[in-house]
């Protein structure tokens, strides 16, 4: 099995980091159940990584929050969505619902679901 630090060594050598590179590494960490590593990389991305998260970043980060039991990080991610203009993205909002359900924030989950129905007419 690959150590989570191995891909990071290659990533660290890349001088110009694009959002796609962050997304690929975050998704790889999530797919390999290295949830805390994916959240740490997301922190690097938003705190001086040179690019902003996009509609592909947030669903993976929300899954990492869900699987790592990191409610405080999830709340911060949700707070940052309007800043990145992704607060009404269908896939991003759909990723919020299971996280809220897990932490029994059912009123917030319902609010997100209702906003999804109003803004898109469809729910994933």
Q: How many CB atoms neighbour CB 14 within 10 A?
A: 9
- With a CB cutoff of 8 Å and minimum separation 6, the contacts of 102 are 66
pLDDT < 50 stretches in the chain: 123
Confidence at residue 34, expressed as pLDDT on a 0 to 100 scale: 92
Q: What is the pTM of this model?
A: 0.72
* Residue closest to 70 by CA, chosen among 19, 107, 30: 30
* Residue closest to 95 by CA, chosen among 113, 83, 79, 82: 113
Confidence at residue 82, expressed as pLDDT on a 0 to 100 scale: 63
Confidence at residue 54, expressed as pLDDT on a 0 to 100 scale: 86
* Residue closest to 77 by CA, chosen among 120, 119, 42, 111: 42
Confidence at residue 85, expressed as pLDDT on a 0 to 100 scale: 65
Residue 40 near residue 73, CB atoms below 8 Å: no
Q: Measure Cα distances from 73 to 12, 18, 24, 39, 93 in Å.
A: 24, 23, 20, 8, 16
DSSP one-letter code for 6 = H
Confidence at residue 29, expressed as pLDDT on a 0 to 100 scale: 92
Confidence at residue 105, expressed as pLDDT on a 0 to 100 scale: 74
Confidence at residue 114, expressed as pLDDT on a 0 to 100 scale: 76
């Amino acid at each position: 099995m690959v150590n989570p630090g191995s891909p990071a060594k290659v990533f660290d050598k890349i001088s110009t980091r694009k959002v796609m590179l962050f997304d690929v590494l975050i998704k790889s960490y999530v797919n390999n159940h290295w949830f805390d590593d994916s959240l740490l990389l997301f922190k690097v991305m938003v705190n001086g990584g040179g690019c902003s998260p996009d509609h592909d970043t947030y669903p993976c980060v929300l899954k990492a929050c869900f699987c790592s039991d990191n409610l405080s990080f999830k709340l911060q991610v949700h707070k940052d969505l309007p800043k990145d203009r992704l607060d009404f993205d269908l896939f991003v909002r759909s990723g919020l619902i299971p996280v809220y359900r897990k932490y029994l924030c059912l009123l917030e989950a319902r609010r997100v679901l209702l906003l999804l129905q109003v803004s898109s007419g469809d729910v994933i």
